[in-house]
Amino acid sequence: MAKKGTELRESAKDHVVFPVVSPQEVSKLGPLVFTRGEGIYVWDVDGKRYMDSMASGVYAVHVGYGRKRIAEAMAEQASQLHYFCPYGYVSEPVIRLGEKLAELAPGDLSITFFTCDGSEAVESAFKIAKQWAYHKGYRRRYKIISRRRAYHGATMGALAATGTMSPLREIMEPLPPGYRFAS
């Protein structure tokens, strides 16, 4: 297994881009290569178990790894219609999930805009706010106010709203204009 792990780490260094981590760091240490997950744990290619502390708030694995019921539902849906462009079209699972979320949401919150991840959701919220202002005649309202030390995502708009805590900010400058911060 150690030989396979070494080969995979070397291949990853040659063929995969690692955002946020410097190429020198990846080159020196090599990436961790994970092979499976169960609940809150993941295992690397060498069989070492880790508790995944990143899944809790940043990535799309909030329900844990290895959830057979979820995997089966995903496979079933993918075998029928895995995705359809939302520009004026919809599928039954999207409608049913929208209904369920409306039941669970407080007050009169009854409409859902579906995205694939948090960064896309933040970016979409900016666009929805700007579109609303445009249609209301507020053409000069374009500023976004966010908390200075909060993480909002890795897309350009979300990164601009992230404030000072992300090492990516400096690397990606200049960022989109119009972002202000509250402490």
Mind listing the pLDDT tens digit of every residue in the chain (183 residues)? Answer: 567 888 999 999 889 988 777 788 888 878 889 999 998 899 999 999 999 887 655 666 678 888 999 899 999 999 999 888 888 899 999 999 999 999 999 999 999 999 888 889 999 999 999 999 999 999 888 899 999 888 888 889 999 998 776 677 778 889 999 999 998
For 47, how many CA atoms within 13 A lie in the half-sphere containing its CB? Answer: 3
**pTM to 2 decimals?**
0.73
The closest of 56, 55, 16 to 33, measured between CA atoms, is 16
175 Cβ contact partners less than 8 Å away, ≥ 6 residues apart: 156, 159, 160, 169
112 Cβ contact partners less than 8 Å away, ≥ 6 residues apart: 97, 98, 101, 102
- Residue 39 pairs with which residues in a beta bridge? 65
**pLDDT of amino acid 58:** 60
Q: What angle do CA 135, 141, 143 make, to 5 degrees?
A: 130
Dist. CA 178–CA 160, nearest whole Å: 9
Looking up tokens 């955002």, which residue turns up?
Answer: 19
- For 76, the enclosing helix (H) or strand (E) is helix 68-80
**pLDDT of amino acid 128:** 94
- Give yes or no for a contact between 160 and 179, defined as CB atoms under 8 angstroms apart: yes
- For 104, the enclosing helix (H) or strand (E) is helix 92-104
**pLDDT of amino acid 95:** 94
Dist. CA 132–CA 101, nearest whole Å: 23
